[in-house]
């Protein structure tokens, strides 16, 4: 045998995974195979010790999930007691005629202790213990577990939404969110399991009574009929054995039931049960003084046990005095500790004082707080979460979390959107009102506060809720205050997508693609190209409004041309050609016709010469630049009036320079080259720029 395989085999065999099957087999064996008296003594002692251990663990827990294995422990301990009942019954009925110690010293000792020479009293006391366990402790614990499971399940959606809100607001990370969701699921499963497991304990109590009755009746029959014992001797032997057997099983059962009640009835905080009891029962000296006075008053009533009541009253009064003194000292120490030191030195600066700026931030005035407060019905967090999902599915990468905070320096209904700590937009949104936006085809005017749509600059009016239907009937687009902010954020993150794609986001994007195509990523980064060049190419695409969902095509193109060039602009042009179909589909989602603007041949030739003479590729003669910018803006407006996207079609050498030049004046303009158009598309020119140049 291989010397390495033996320890591994032994380790697997001895692992905890085989412990549960072995325990179940042993419990079943105890029901079938006869056990000697000494084995019963050991197992009954172990059962008592196990129940005490479970109770102590339950008292030390700070929340129910600290003892998540408790339902299984209930099942196993119940099966252990039932197996011991079966094994002891066999010994009692077969060897009971030999004397009270036939089933071991433990059963004999418990029987003598409870009966004390009076069998009737012993039977009554045993029945009372069983009834207490069955009707009080076990039933109460089961009811608490049942109600706890119901309320836990009812509260699950709210808890899940709270976790999502904290995650969207950036208060917690993905790992913490997963941990909290798992804890919520475990909590519901725990209370549900406890509800079912408590039925085992109740059944065990009933079984204890029945087993005791069977042992007494069966023992009398066996002793008198088979072993010719006198009735008095049979009653003495078998009653002692039956009561001792039942008691040695019911006491651990009662302890386990108490542990179950303790675990499911506690309210989770940072203290265990003992700490909670001491803190909350003996922390109010006024309550203890009043209690001492009442108990002392009862002690001076004639006929009452004066010594007991007066002694207890004195103890309570003394404890109250000690607690009052301790609380007074603690309060004085707290005041001294909080008093400012006049000559205290200023703490040294540390790296904790350096707070990183939020990539995307939203600051709201105090009147807009209800929009982000879920307890007040605000759903802005949910809307922003949906925007991030939409952005990821359309653009091709996951945008950073939007961090939201209130800012009392803003106008009450104002908000501010920041990018890497810098303000990029502001606006007003009136909570409780609706924004009626004029898309250009309204049939009348509506009364309200005139304004402009903060996202697209369209004329709009803030109206009350009762005027909403009237505005919609006139052709206005009506949105609520939360939608105004969410739409503005969506527009801005799409506009600044390139700024949101940092080094970390690029690495996460490559890791995501690498899960399905690991070889594709390994061959490119860092073998052929550094991560910074990949980031620059992706940012160039996003700057010109090109989505990067087709990462496979982008990576394959970069891998193909990386040995020839590392220039990000050249690589961007090559990638755009490969993404031509997707770019055209993005601009013209339906039909085979591409409606574009184009340059006059003379103007295009002059621009080519200017770019060739300027190695920087960006200098255009001022007069020509002004004419080009003005005519391009007019043509773009004409395209938009026809309901068409403004697209300028030029030759490949001019595309990048013109896109950069015209982007500032006409942000919505898209510049394509002839190489980027698929052969299946038909070109229709609507405007000729520079025809009079």
Q: What is the DSSP string of 461-522?
A: EEE-GGGHHHHHHTT-EEEEHHHHHHHHHHHHHHHTHHHH--HHHHHHHHHHHHHH-HHHHH
* Shared-domain flag, residues 264 and 161: yes
Tell me how crowded residue 246 is: count the other CB atoms within 10 A of its CB.
30
Of residues 274 and 412, more confidence is placed in: 412
First to last CA, the chain: 91
pLDDT of res. 141: 67
The answer to whether position 602 is within a domain reads yes
Q: For residues 566 and 536, is the Cβ–Cβ distance under 8 A?
A: no
What percent of the chain lies above the pLDDT cut of 90? 28
* Shared-domain flag, residues 257 and 165: yes
Q: Provide the number of structural domains found in the chain.
A: 6
Domain end position, chosen among 526, 552, 578: 578
| Residue 184 reports pLDDT greater than 80 | no
Cα 166 from Cα 160, distance rounded (Å): 10
Range with the lowest mean pLDDT among 177-191, 552-566, 625-639? 177-191
Cα 373 from Cα 356, distance rounded (Å): 25
What percent of the chain lies above the pLDDT cut of 70? 80
Question: pLDDT per residue over 252-271, tens digit each?
Answer: 877 877 777 777 666 555 55
* Shared-domain flag, residues 487 and 541: no
The answer to whether position 346 is within a domain reads no
* Shared-domain flag, residues 569 and 607: no
Q: What value does the mean pLDDT take over residues 95-116?
A: 67
The answer to whether position 180 is within a domain reads yes
Cα 657 from Cα 292, distance rounded (Å): 92
pLDDT of res. 13: 44
Range with the lowest mean pLDDT among 71-75, 84-88, 325-329, 652-656? 325-329
| Residue 210 reports pLDDT greater than 70 | yes
| CATH number where 555 lies | 1.10.8.540
pLDDT of res. 5: 41
Tell me how crowded residue 19 is: count the other CB atoms within 10 A of its CB.
10
| Residue 111 reports pLDDT greater than 70 | no
* Shared-domain flag, residues 451 and 518: no
User: Tokens in use for 328?
Assistant: 């007074």
User: Tokens in use for 576?
Assistant: 């755009």
The answer to whether position 323 is within a domain reads yes
User: Tokens in use for 230?
Assistant: 């006198």
| pLDDT tier for residue 488 given thresholds of 50, 70 and 90 | very high
* Shared-domain flag, residues 193 and 241: yes
Ranges of beta strands (E only) in 179-264 are none
Say what the alpha-carbon torsion angle 642, 644, 646, 651 is, to the nearest 10 degrees: -110
| CATH number where 455 lies | 3.40.30.60
The answer to whether position 320 is within a domain reads yes
pLDDT of res. 539: 95
| CA 542 to each of CA 395, 498, 665, 670: distance values in angstroms, whole numbers, following the listed order | 8, 5, 18, 12
* Shared-domain flag, residues 473 and 440: yes
Cα 160 from Cα 202, distance rounded (Å): 34
Q: How many CA atoms lie within 13 A of 95 on its CB side?
A: 14
Of residues 258 and 371, more confidence is placed in: 371
Which residues contact residue 178 at a Cβ distance below 8 angstroms, ignoring those fewer than 6 apart? none
For residue 311, what are the domain limits? 282-333
Of 85, 84, 91, 80, whose CA–CA distance to 34 is shortest?
91
User: Tokens in use for 207?
Assistant: 């079984």
| CATH number where 639 lies | 3.40.50.12790
Of 443, 474, 479, whose CA–CA distance to 462 is shortest?
479
| Residue 4 reports pLDDT greater than 50 | no
| pLDDT tier for residue 527 given thresholds of 50, 70 and 90 | confident
Domain end position, chosen among 270, 296, 313: 270
* Shared-domain flag, residues 492 and 381: yes
The answer to whether position 611 is within a domain reads yes
User: Tokens in use for 217?
Assistant: 């009746």
Of residues 407 and 612, more confidence is placed in: 407
Cα 508 from Cα 525, distance rounded (Å): 13
| Residue 49 reports pLDDT greater than 90 | no
DSSP string, 161-187: HHHHHHHHTTSS-HHHHHHHHHHHHHH
The answer to whether position 625 is within a domain reads yes
* Shared-domain flag, residues 141 and 197: yes
How high does pLDDT run on average in the chain?
Answer: 80
pLDDT of res. 1: 40
What are the two backbone dihedrals, phi and then psi, of residue 358, each rounded to the nearest 5 degrees?
-75, 135
Question: pLDDT per residue over 555-580, tens digit each?
Answer: 999 999 999 999 999 999 999 999 99
Domain end position, chosen among 231, 247, 270: 270
* Shared-domain flag, residues 494 and 507: no
pLDDT of res. 158: 66
Range with the lowest mean pLDDT among 232-241, 314-323, 350-359? 232-241
Tokens 């503005």 found at: 488
| Residue 130 reports pLDDT greater than 80 | no
The answer to whether position 139 is within a domain reads yes
* Shared-domain flag, residues 135 and 203: yes
| pLDDT tier for residue 351 given thresholds of 50, 70 and 90 | confident
* Shared-domain flag, residues 514 and 485: no
């Amino acid at each position: 045998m291989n010397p390495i395989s033996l320890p591994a085999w032994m380790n697997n065999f001895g692992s905890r995974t085989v412990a549960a099957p072995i325990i179940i087999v042993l419990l079943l064996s105890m029901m079938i195979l006869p056990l000697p008296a000494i084995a019963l003594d050991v197992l009954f002692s172990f059962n008592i010790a196990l129940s005490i251990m479970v109770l102590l663990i339950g008292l030390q827990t700070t929340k129910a999930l600290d003892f998540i294995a408790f339902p299984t422990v209930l099942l196993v301990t119940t099966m252990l007691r039932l197996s011991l009942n079966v094994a002891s019954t066999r010994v009692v009925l077969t060897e009971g005629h030999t004397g009270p110690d036939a089933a071991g010293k433990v059963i004999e000792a418990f029987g003598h202790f409870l009966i004390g020479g009076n069998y009737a009293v012993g039977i009554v006391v045993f029945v009372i213990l069983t009834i207490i366990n069955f009707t009080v402790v076990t039933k109460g614990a089961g009811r608490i577990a049942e109600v706890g499971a119901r309320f836990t399940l009812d509260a699950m959606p709210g808890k899940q939404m709270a976790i999502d809100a904290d995650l969207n607001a950036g208060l917690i990370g993905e790992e913490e969110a997963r941990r909290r969701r798992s804890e919520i699921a475990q909590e519901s499963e725990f209370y549900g399991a406890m509800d079912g497991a408590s039925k085992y304990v109740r059944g065990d109590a009933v079984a204890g009574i029945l087993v005791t009755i069977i042992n007494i009746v069966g023992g009398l029959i066996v002793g008198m009929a088979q072993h010719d014992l006198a009735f008095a001797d049979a009653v003495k032997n078998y009653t002692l054995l039956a009561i001792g057997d039942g008691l040695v099983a019911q006491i651990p059962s009662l302890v386990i039931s108490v542990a179950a009640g303790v675990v499911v009835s506690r309210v989770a905080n940072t203290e265990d049960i003992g700490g909670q009891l001491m803190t909350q029962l003996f922390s109010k000296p006024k309550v203890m003084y009043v209690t001492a006075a009442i108990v002392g008053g009862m002690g001076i009533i004639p006929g009452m046990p004066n010594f007991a009541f007066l002694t207890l009253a004195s103890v309570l009064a003394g404890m109250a005095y000690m607690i009052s003194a301790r609380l007074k000292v603690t309060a004085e120490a707290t005041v001294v500790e909080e008093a400012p030191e006049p000559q205290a030195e200023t703490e040294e600066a540390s790296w904790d004082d350096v707070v990183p700026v939020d990539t995307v931030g939203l600051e709201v005035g105090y009147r807009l707080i209800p929009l982000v407060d879920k307890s007040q019905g605000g759903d802005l967090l949910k809307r922003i979460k949906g925007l991030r999902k939409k952005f990821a599915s359309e653009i091709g990468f996951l945008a950073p979390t939007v961090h939201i905070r209130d800012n009392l320096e803003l106008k009450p209904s104002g908000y501010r959107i920041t990018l890497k700590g810098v303000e990029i937009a502001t606006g007003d949104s009136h909570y409780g009102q609706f924004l009626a936006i004029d898309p250009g085809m309204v049939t009348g005017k509506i009364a309200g506060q005139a304004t402009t749509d903060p996202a697209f600059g369209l004329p709009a009016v803030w109206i009350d809720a009762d005027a909403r239907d009237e505005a919609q009937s006139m052709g206005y687009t009506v949105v609520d205050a939360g939608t105004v902010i969410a739409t503005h954020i969506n527009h801005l993150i799409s506009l600044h997508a390139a700024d949101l794609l940092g080094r970390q986001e690029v690495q996460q994007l490559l890791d995501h693609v690498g899960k399905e195509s690991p070889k594709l990523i390994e061959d490119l980064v860092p073998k052929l190209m550094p991560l910074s060049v990949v980031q620059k190419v992706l940012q160039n695409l996003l700057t010109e409004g090109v989505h990067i969902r087709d990462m496979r095509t982008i990576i394959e193109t970069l891998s193909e041309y990386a040995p020839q060039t590392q220039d990000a602009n050249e690589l961007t042009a090559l990638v755009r050609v490969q993404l031509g179909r997707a770019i055209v589909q993005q601009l013209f989602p339906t039909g085979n016709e591409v409606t574009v603007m184009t340059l006059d041949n003379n103007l295009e030739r002059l621009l080519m010469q200017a770019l060739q003479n300027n190695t920087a590729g960006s200098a255009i003669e001022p007069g020509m630049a002004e004419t080009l910018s003005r005519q391009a803006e007019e043509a773009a407006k004409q395209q938009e009036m026809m309901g068409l996207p403004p697209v300028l079609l030029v030759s490949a050498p001019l595309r990048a320079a013109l896109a950069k030049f015209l982007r500032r004046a006409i942000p919505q303009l898209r510049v394509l080259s002839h190489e980027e158009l698929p052969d299946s598309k038909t070109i229709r020119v609507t405007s000729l720029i520079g025809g009079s140049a």
